Structure formats: structure tokens, C-alpha cells
Chain A
Amino acid sequence: MGNKQTTFTDEQLEAYQDCTFFTRKEILRLHSRYRELAPHLVPLDYTNNPDIRVPLTLIVTMPELKENPFRDRIVETFSEDGQGNLTFNDFVDMFSALCETSPRELKTIYAFKIYDYNRDNFICKEDLEKTLNKLTKGELTPEEVALVCDKAIEEADLDADNKLSFADFENMISKAPDFLSNFHVRI
């Protein structure tokens, strides 16, 4: 480990490796990144699992997320309280789900959660509109937005309830060629 002070015990590192797709080195790096966000808040010593949360406003300043139009949603999705305050566990969880080696199924689940703005377990029209406006920075006219949303629902909605359930979403994403290559963040 090299450091004089241990950040994690071996046990903790093993547990994290069991629960994520990261290697030991990456977990330590994640911790240092996490600590960088709020040096005064996050201790170096994590052996006793301190309950510390870094607020959303700090998390989204990370270069990995800074330009992402869905950054707030991503952080919110992975935070336990739903407000975007991340503990270190949530933080690791987030990057583990978004990393390159995590499987398509897992990514699909989290993508669905991210795009489901109102958290009703369906991607409905408002969710789509929000997504679209974020993607295009509001460059499209309302009619165009409506058209695109209608079309998207029409395409992917298998059971015709005018909103996308997880099954619809999964079906659509599983065929998308770019999903895996685009839906990942390298830390």
C-alpha cells in the first residue's frame, strides 16, 4: 500500500473487490478521488467505516461527470437518500456500475433508473422530455420534442401503455449497438 497510514484494512479491500468490478489499486484511487472532493470532510482513515456524505454539488464537479447532461440524475440515483449525497460506498457503487467491465444487465438497470426522473418505475413522457431537453440543450422546438417523444414511445413501448416499463427499456437497450460503449465512465 505504500502509505504510512492505512486507508482500508485488507478485509475491507477484499470485500470491496468482491462487491465491485474494481481492483485494489482502483479502489484506493477511488478513495483518493473521493477525498479530493472534500478534503476537510473525508478522513484518510476509512477502517471504521465513518458515515460521511459528500453533497451532490461537490460530486458533479468531477471531470468525469462535469460535462454529462445527466450528472445530477446519476448522482441522485446512486445516493442512498435520493438527494445526491454520496457516502463512499455509494461513490464506489456508482463507478462500479459505470465502469467498463460491468455487465449489460446491470448497466441497463441503472440507466433505466437514471432516465426515470420522477421515480415511478416507468419512463413516461415527462421523463423523455426532460432527457431530450438535456441532450439537446433545449434546441428543439416543443413540437419537435413532442414528436420525438411520441416516436420514441411508439418504437419501444411493447405493451402500449404509453410509457416505457423496464421490460420495454431493456428490450430496446439490449439491441442498441452503442449502449455499452457509451454508457461507461472511466475513473
Chain B
Amino acid sequence: MPPKRKNDTAIKVEDVGMDVDAVLDSGSEEEARRRTKNRRIKPQRKAKQVSDDEEEEEEDEAPKKRGRKKKPKPQDSDEDDEEDKRSVKSKGSKVSRKKAQKDDSDEESEEDRGKRKKGGAVSKKEKEEQNKDKKGNPKERRRDSKGGDKDKKKKNGKLSSSSSDSGESDEDSLSEGELAALKEQVEEKKKLIATLRNKPWRMKRRLVLLKEAQEFVEKFEGALGKGRGRKLYAFKVMMTKKFIKFKRDFENFKTACIPWERKIKEVESHFGSSVASYFIFLRWMYGVNLVLFGLMFGLVVLPEVLMGLPYGSIPRKTVPREEQDSAMDFSVLFDFGGYCKYSILFYGYYNNSPTIGVLKFRLPLSYLLVGVGIFGYSLMVVVRMMARNANEGGDGADEGEFTFSWKMFTSWDYLIGNPETADNKYASITTSFKESIVDEQENQKDENIHLRRFLRVLANLMILCCLGGSGYLIYYAVKRSQEFSKMDPDDLSWLQKNEVEIVMSLLGLVCPPLFETIAELEKYHPRIALKWQLGRIFALFLGNLYTFLFALFDEVTAKLESEKIIKNATEWGLNEYYANYSSFYNTTNVPPPNVDPADVVRGPCWETAVGIEFVKLTVSDIQVTYLTILIGDFLRAVTVRFLNYCWCWDLEAGFPSYAEFDISGNVLGLIFNQGMIWMGAFYAPGLVGLNVLRLLTSMYYQCWAVMACNVPHERVFKASRSNNFYMGLLLLVLFLSLLPVVYTIMTLSPSFDCGPFSGQDKMYDVVMETIEKDLPAFIGNIFTYATNPGLIMPAVLLMVLALYYLNTTSKGYQQANLDLKKKMQMARDEEKNRRNNKDSTNQVMKDLEDLLPNKSLVPPPTEEEPPPPDVVTEKGSKSPKTKPGSATKGVNLQKEVSLAASNPRGPVTRAPGPRGGPPGNTRGPQPGPGRGRGAPPRK
């Protein structure tokens, strides 16, 4: 049948094409021909009116059918194909036919239309009746419709040949409805083109369909709209096409710009997706930092370099006289003293003149806004990423629900392309299966629970001690370094100068393995153990960082004190100078004191000091990380590799072996490094640039290291779940690093003689100043109103309310979700029970189901015995779940089932009784409608 149909449809398509072409090139000389043809057709048409209408109804069904059919059904994909084409084409033909009709009706009088309407009504009625009978017998119906289609096509063959001629001049008579229909079709085609790649079809078929759809769209798009509207439409269409092309090119360009794709792929194939996830994270981080760097560099550093005063012009941009001798020494530069300290890398270098250069660039304002904007941007990016990750993950079924199936179908990592990794993966999958089997067999082994609890408490105690100890150690080191800093820098060794950084890095190096060893005591499941481990390392880092910060604050307050004294002394000196000058020369016109910028007395500039601390911390972190890789991974690998030839045991398989790539440690290190950047960026604009460099080198270095000296994990842990975990940590770190910065901006007063905010009482005064002085008055007014407590309080209240509301709704959704899950579980259990317990009748029921729809039309012969009526009634009246043996349970189950509410098979299981009405049938509804509600027959 299909090929024949195809032939028909092919003809049709041509018709449609002709039709359209004709519409496009309208000619008046065709008019006459059209009339004659119409006259010829008229009788024909009248005869076929009824059937035509009927067809139309049929065709209305077509899209639905098609929608149903679009579901992937591999076995009949070819047929599917045909079906698709058919319905599409028949639609096209419909349009043409409609046009013809319209034409006719224009020519003919009202009465004919009335007649037709009547005919339509009649046929509709008929149809309804037929439907009632036919419903639930799709096959037969389809056959009918196919037959009808064929008939119709034959008619259409003639009809459309006429309409192709007749339709040309009635461009104007294309009614709104038809236009809309055509438009809809075109839209549909476009949608098909857009979603074609998501369809599980063969490429060949996709290409063919694409071509067809494109041709269709091309043809009909022009037919839409008329007159000027048409031109506009054509223009619009062209523009959308151009836009799509542009978008695609842009997309191409964008993917071409994503760096390290090959590198990551290589790592991925060797180590699986979990290690690669670290590198992807690193790359993402690099992108974020690049943007931060762009902001900082473009809006702060570059303007100051280009338009600001040059080095040596004012005191803050000059190395003081006493430091000048050693300002170029490597050791000094390495500690970011000397020329480094008085460079654009740090806060102190920036001038406080409100505008710089010919462009009147407001550097102080820009500095503040960029400092805050960095946080804003980071926050946005992290949250967006988290949202995207949340969408990607599965919708989180309960852990235990699909243990085996998930292991079976999703545990193999398709990215693996390295034999060694593959072997490891095989082994790990096998072990995990075995573990699950053991778990399943003896669900809960009762060991000595008390001992384990004791051990866990002990382990936690020890870790707490470690954390406390490390915190104290850092505090002590910072205090000591403050004492050292009061002494003469020449007396101090390098060790003493960098004590804090070394202590912090060492703690970061030693503590995590220590924690891991202690965690052995706890005997947690590895996944839980990993979470604990991450949490502990996180606590350690955080504790260290905050201890460091608090110690730093002590230092800052001390500096502020000393600054006050210096400030007073300077002011006193200046006053003295002015007084002396005016009394000496007896003039009020006093020139400023002629002092070399290097000799001016200056304050300690605490902001720069803080910035230096952060930069040093970052640098030492880089050093430690790189050295660890070099020694811990590379040297170890080299030793193991070459000493293995002359050693008494197998080094490669035995004790030292090669290192594994420590994903969690590396990710956490990256996160904390980022936290330091966020905190320090405000005081050291150069820090962001430094970090970009670090990430860049780290990408290459670590890629090399991991490929050269690491071995794949023996126990591969899952990356996808932890992805958002890392992002959550990043968000937390962002908040925690936001706090101190915002605190200093809002409360501490800036140094009087360095930085863009010098001379102001508070840093944010810059904003106030700008609003007052440079913006129109009404904006200032708006700001005053907006910062009014009377307005802020309601706003906060509103937010709290919104929060509460959202929280409540989300809880409601959660509840609903849970209920649905429960229902599904119930339905499933019930189904299962039914199947398991009534296995004997199962086959019969199935057959009956299949036979059900035919009943009203043809009484089919049954080979099998009809089921005993009493069983049937029981099933009809009660839940099918009821076991014969467990009558007592039945009541209970009944309730559950009603809760479950949807037993889709309920109506179907009512026995139809092949011959003669069985008792079940009399009380049940007609099988026809019931069939409609039930699931399609299982086959």
C-alpha cells in the first residue's frame, strides 16, 4: 500500500507546486479558461460535496494522528516517514482544494452554500455516529481514512488541475483563515527544521525531510501576505534567514574560541570524566577571571597608566628616599616591596584627583564601582552556572531506588579511551556490583556499633583539635610577623619575613592527608567519606583564612593609629611652614613647600599593606602548588619509573607507585585561591592579572603533569553530582570574601595620603560626591529619597515577605512532588501484584484487551476459554490487586488504590465477554469509551 500512496502524494505535491506558481504569476487571459473549467467541474463537485466534507474532517484528525505517530517507533520508521509526508502533502492539497471551493462558491449563489452547509451538517452527524462505533478501532479507521484519502486524491487529481488554473487570480480571495492555516503550516515546517536534530531518525531521512521542509517554506512563504505587506513579509523572512545564518556563524566562531578543547579531551580519554571535570572547572574559572581582569584593567589600571600622573610626580607614586637604595633588589621586589609597592599593582599608587585626563575620567568612582562590580559579576556568573548545573542533573530520585539499573546503564564512561583506564573502570564497576550484591544479600551487618561510634567521635575530636591548632598557629605566626615588621627589615631572614605564608601553605599541605588518615577510623562509605573530607578541608581553609584576616585587621588598626599621628605631624608641619613663610616674606600668597616627592613624610598606607599580604599569599600558594606537583608527582614518578629496574620490590605496583590526581584537593585549592583573589582585588588591582597568569600556566602545567606522571583513579568517584557541590562552595567563599571587603569599604577610613580615596572620610563618599556635584539635582533627590529609612524598611519587609512566599510555594511543590511519587509507587506496586498473582488469567486478560475494541463491530472468535465470570466480577468491582488469598488485606489495598486514583487499566479489565453479556459488562460502561481512556494495547 505505501508505495501506491506515495505515488498519489507525489502527484499532489506537484499540484500544490503548480498551484502556488500559478498564484504567483497571475494573468488575466487565464480568466476565461478558468470559467469554462469551473463550469465543467461544478456538477462534479456537487456530487462530491458530502464526501468532501467528510474528508475534511478526516484530515482534521490527521495532525493528531501524526502527533501520536511521531513518537519514536523504530520498527515502523519507514511507514512513519510515509505517513508524515502524506499528511503534510494532504494538507497542502487541502489548501488548494479549499481555494477551489472558495472559487466555486464565489461564482455560485448563496443557495449552493446553504446546501453545502446542510450537507456538511448531515455528514457531521453521520460522522459522529460512525465515530461512536469506530472509536477505539484505530486500525480500521485508518484503513477507512486511507481509502477515503485515495478516493479523494483521485478526485483531487482532477480538481486541483482545475484549481491550479483557477486559483491563480484569486490571490485576493485567500481568506484570513486560509492564510492563517498556511502560515501555521509554514510555522510548523520551520519548527520541524529547528528541531530536526532532536529527532531520532536516520540522517538520510533527516536530510530528505529537511530539504522538503525548506522547499515548502520557501514556496509558501512568498504566498503569504499581499501587496506591501507581502514585500515586508518577504523582507522579514530574508532577515530571519540572514539572522539565522549569522547566529550559526557566531556559534561556530564561539566554539572555535573555546580553548583547550583537545587538551581536555585527551585528559578525558585517559582519566575519565571526573578528572576532566577539574580541568573544565579550571577553564571556566579562567574565563571568569579574564572578565574580571578586563574590568579591572580596562577601567582602572589602563586609565591611570595612560592619563594619570607619571611615576615620581607625587609622593604616593615615588619610592621614599630611605628605600631607594634597595628598591631594585630582587629580594625586595620578590616581597613586593620597593618599586613593586609603588606601582599600579597596588591601591596606594592611584591618585585621588576626581577626574583625570582630557576625557575627565572619574578614576576614584570607577575604582570603587569596579571593586564592587567584580563581586556583582562573580555572583551572577556563579549563580547562573549553578542553575544550569541543577537543570542538567537528573531530577534526583531517591538514592536506593534504581541502584542496579543505574549501575548497569549509566556507569560506563563513554569518554574513556585508554586501555588502562578502561581496565580500572571494569574493575571498579565489578567491585561496585559485588558490593551492591553483598549489601542486598545482608542488608545490615550488625557489627560492634559502639566501637564504631566511639571511633567516629574520636576521629572528629582529633580533627577538631587539628583545626583549632592550625588556627592558633596562624594567629601566632601573624602576630610574630607583626613584631618582625617593627624591626629593621635588614636583620630579618627570608624565612622570618614570609613566615605567615609558609605556615599557611604548609598547613594546607599537611592537614588534608592527615584528615584522610584520621577518616580511615570512621569506616564510612567512600562517597560519604569524601563529603566529610571535603567539608573538613573546607573548614580548615576557611578557618585559616579568617584567622589570617583577623590578625590582619589588628595590624590595620595599628597602622591607622600610627597614620593618625603622622597625619597630625604633617599637618602641623605644613601649618608651621605656611605661618613661617607668610611671616618671613610678609605675603599671603604662599607657594607649596618645595620638597622632593621622595622625601615627603608619609603614612603607612594600610590598604597597600593588605594588598601586599594577599599578593604574597597568592604567590606562595602558587609556589607550593607547583612545587608539590613537581616533587610529589613528577619526581615520584621519575623515581618509581627508573629505580624500578634495580629495586627489591616492584615500585610501580607496590608501595610508592604513581600518584593519583587529587580532584577534590585541586578543586578546593582553586576555590580558595579564587576567594583570595576576590578579597585582595580591591587592594591590589594587579592581583587579578596575576591570577589570570596563574590559571593559564596552571592549565598547561597540570595538563602536562597529569598526563605524564599520574595514574587513573582506582575508585572513580562521580563528577556530576559533586559539580554543584563545588559551585556551592564557590558561592560560599564568594560571600565570605565579600564580607571583609565590604566591611572595610563601609567602616574604615581610607589613608590620607595614598589611594584614590585619600582625603575622604569614607570610601563610598566618592559616590555621594558624584551624585551631589555631577549629576542633575533631581537624581540626587531621588537618591536621598531612596536611601530614606522610611523607604528601605518597607523594601526589606517586602523582600522578606517575598522570600517567605517563595519558600512556602516551593514547599508546597515539594509536597506535591512527594505525593505524586507515592502515587506512582503505589500504582506500580499494585500493577506488579496484580501481574504476579493473576498470572494464570493474565494472558487471557491481555487477549481480551486486544479484542475489546472490535467487539461492537465484529464478534471475533476466541480460541481461549472466557474467564470464569465470578473472577471477572471481582476484578471489575474490586481492585485487581486483591489477591485471592489475602481477602483481609483487600480492604486496605482498596483504600490505597483509591488514593492512587489512576489505575489506567481499570476500565479495560472489565471483561467484555466475547459472546453474550457476562455479568461484568452489564454494570460497566460501554467498552468503547473505556477503551479510549485506557492505555493502548501492549504489543
Contact = CB atoms under 8 A, between A and B. Distances in A.
Contacts of A185: 414-415
Contact of B430 (A23, A80, A136, A182): A136
Contact of B414 (A23, A93, A158, A182): A182
Interface in A1-43: 15, 17-21, 23-26
B72 interface: yes
Contacts of B405: 152, 155-156, 172
Interface residues of A, number: 73
Given A103-B198, A179-B394, A15 B251 contact: no
A140 interface: yes
A42 to B, nearest CB: 16
Interface in B431-469: 433-434, 436-437, 440
B394 A24 contact: no
Interface in A135-169: 135-137, 139-140, 144, 147-148, 151-152, 155-161, 166, 169
Contacts of A111: 409
B202 A90 contact: yes
Given A136-B430, A144-B437, A89 B410 contact: no
Contacts of B204: 80, 87, 89
B422 interface: yes
B831 interface: yes
B719 A181 contact: yes
A24 B200 CA distance: 21
A86 B129 CA distance: 51
B408 interface: yes
A45 B395 CA distance: 46
A154 to B, nearest CB: 8
Contacts of B406: 172, 176-178
Interface in B246-276: 248, 251-252, 255-256, 265, 268-269, 273
A148 B394 contact: no
B409 to A, nearest CB: 6
A106 interface: yes
A175 B74 contact: no
B379 interface: no
A85 interface: no
B438 to A, nearest CB: 10
B410 A182 contact: yes
Contact of B434 (A105, A106, A140, A176): A140
Contacts of A159: 831, 835, 938
Interface string A60-97: 00011011111000000000100000010110110011
B74 A113 contact: yes
B203 A176 contact: no
B707 interface: no
A148 B404 contact: yes
B198 A184 contact: no
Interface in B828-879: 828, 831-832, 834-836
B417 A152 contact: no
Contact of B426 (A92, A103, A137, A158): A137
A174 interface: yes
A176 B202 contact: no
A117 interface: no
Contact of B416 (A67, A87, A139): A67
B197 interface: yes
A54 interface: no
Interface stretch (B149-157, B205-213, B231-239, B559-567): B205-213
A138 to B, nearest CB: 9
Contacts of B719: 181
A128 to B, nearest CB: 7
Contact of B410 (A97, A113, A160, A173): A173
Given A155-B404, A160-B836, A183-B410, A121 B75 contact: yes
Contacts of B197: 18-21, 96, 102
Nearest to B392: A180
Contact of A148 (B251, B392, B408, B419): B408
Contacts of A177: 393-394, 396, 406, 718, 720-721
Contacts of A98: 414
Contacts of B417: 63-64, 66-67
A111 B406 CA distance: 13
A24 B248 CA distance: 9
Contacts of A147: 437, 440
A96 B201 CA distance: 12
A175 B402 contact: yes
B418 interface: yes
Nearest to B253: A23
B421 A67 contact: yes
A51 to B, nearest CB: 10
Given A18-B196, A67-B421, A93-B203, A23 B412 contact: no
A180 B403 CA distance: 17
Given A80-B204, A182-B410, A172 B720 contact: no
Contact of A68 (B199, B401, B412, B938): B412
Contacts of A160: 828, 831-832, 834-836
A106 B197 CA distance: 9
A117 to B, nearest CB: 13
A58 interface: no
Contact of B409 (A97, A140, A144, A179): A179
Contacts of B211: 15
Contacts of B721: 177-178
Given A18-B210, A128-B408, A186-B265, A135 B426 contact: yes
A115 B401 contact: no
A157 B429 CA distance: 22
B828 A158 contact: yes
B409 A176 contact: yes
B900 to A, nearest CB: 13
B422 to A, nearest CB: 4
Contacts of B252: 23-25
B642 to A, nearest CB: 29
Contact of A178 (B198, B396, B720, B828): B720
Contacts of B196: 18-19
Contacts of A151: 403-404, 440
Contact of B210 (A15, A103, A121): A15
Contacts of B207: 15, 19, 89
Contacts of A56: none
B411 interface: yes
Given A23-B255, A131-B408, A135-B411, A63 B269 contact: yes
A172 B408 CA distance: 11
Contacts of A182: 273, 410-415
Interface of B: 72, 74-75, 193, 196-200, 202-204, 206-207, 210-211, 248, 251-252, 255-256, 265, 268-269, 273, 277, 392-397, 401-406, 408-419, 421-422, 426, 429-430, 433-434, 436-437, 440, 718-721, 828, 831-832, 834-836, 938
Given A23-B255, A176-B394, 19 more contacts: A15-B207, A67-B418, A67-B422, A93-B206, A105-B198, A106-B199, A109-B200, A136-B426, A137-B426, A137-B430, A151-B403, A155-B403, A159-B835, A169-B409, A175-B401, A175-B402, A176-B402, A177-B396, A177-B718
27 contacts: A18-B210, A19-B196, A23-B248, A24-B252, A25-B255, A25-B256, A87-B204, A89-B207, A93-B202, A93-B206, A102-B197, A106-B198, A109-B72, A128-B408, A131-B409, A132-B433, A136-B426, A169-B409, A172-B406, A176-B394, A177-B394, A178-B718, A181-B273, A182-B415, A183-B410, A184-B415, A186-B268
Interface of A: 15, 17-21, 23-26, 63-64, 66-70, 80, 87, 89-90, 92-93, 96-98, 102-103, 105-106, 109-111, 113, 115, 121, 128, 131-132, 135-137, 139-140, 144, 147-148, 151-152, 155-161, 166, 169, 172-186
Smallest CB-CB A-B distances: 7 pairs = A175-B397, A89-B203, A67-B422, A160-B835, A152-B404, A93-B203, A160-B832
